[in-house]
A = this chain, B = another copy of it.
Amino acid sequence: MRVTANSNDRKPRAPVFISAPLAALVEGIYRADTTIGRLRLKGNLGIGTFNDLDGEMVLLDGQVYCLRPHGNAEVIADDVRTPFALTTHFEGDTEDQFGRVEEAAFEHALLELVPSPNLMYAIRIDGRFDYVRARSVPKMMNYLPLAEIAKLQTVFEFRDVEGTIVGFYTPNFLAGVHLPGLHLHFITKDRTRGGHLLAAAPNSVSVKLQHAPSVELGLPMTLDFLTMERVRDMEADLDKVER
């Protein structure tokens, strides 16, 4: 399955910038002051959401897309704000080729590529997929716990589709900050559709990974964040809504 694995030069890589701890989103804090413009200064590849949970975010080649409830993509301007997003300046340390991988084996195949479970990695996967299942969410009221959106999300499928998966691998000691393990979003090659990735079966794809030597975590100075009380079971809630 793995056709090539090349290590690039050893130049220092950019940190992963995380605009806010995911714990806040889990509590239903869906507004913060981080603009898309600021996010784009911190990286050219990333994922996240928008204020009021107004769609799933893909940041790819420096462009920010919002993936609407039925999967339609829209380019987003720099003055829009996000309560949670993460990004890095991506070039790729390694590149591997996958042929056909069954849906049930895909996550394991990706985790096999991660050299250490204790670093963060940015991931970019380009190519053709036999199958992709993704979801998005309708605009939400602030303070509705994230676990509630599992009931409101819309799920859609793609068959025999070209596109790009972007996202991150996060070590388990960052559990309050971001989802441990893989967190991936999908967008079609023509950048018109996509969503939060639920499952995929590659047909023929290239997988690029890049490690991060450090993480920069923003701590929002909003009243909602400053007065947040953590009452949710974060792990249980994320199991419902992100996996």
**Which A positions have Cβ atoms within 8 angstroms of B?**
15, 21, 23-24, 115-116, 118-120, 171-177, 211-219, 221, 225-228, 230
Contacts and interface: CB of A to CB of B under 8 A. Distances in A.
Given A23-B173, A214-B218, 20 more contacts: A21-B174, A116-B225, A116-B226, A116-B227, A118-B225, A118-B228, A119-B219, A171-B219, A172-B176, A172-B230, A173-B177, A173-B230, A174-B177, A212-B219, A213-B218, A214-B216, A214-B219, A215-B216, A215-B219, A216-B217
A190 to B, nearest CB: 36
Contact of A176 (B116, B175, B217): B175
A226 B172 contact: no
Given A213-B218, A213-B219, A21 B173 contact: yes
Nearest to A234: B173
Nearest to A21: B173
A121 to B, nearest CB: 10
A45 B172 CA distance: 29
Contacts of A225: 116, 118
Given A115-B226, A172-B230, A226-B115, A219 B120 contact: yes
A43 to B, nearest CB: 15
A232 to B, nearest CB: 11
B221 A118 contact: no
Contacts of A213: 218-219, 221
A36 to B, nearest CB: 18
A225 B118 CA distance: 7
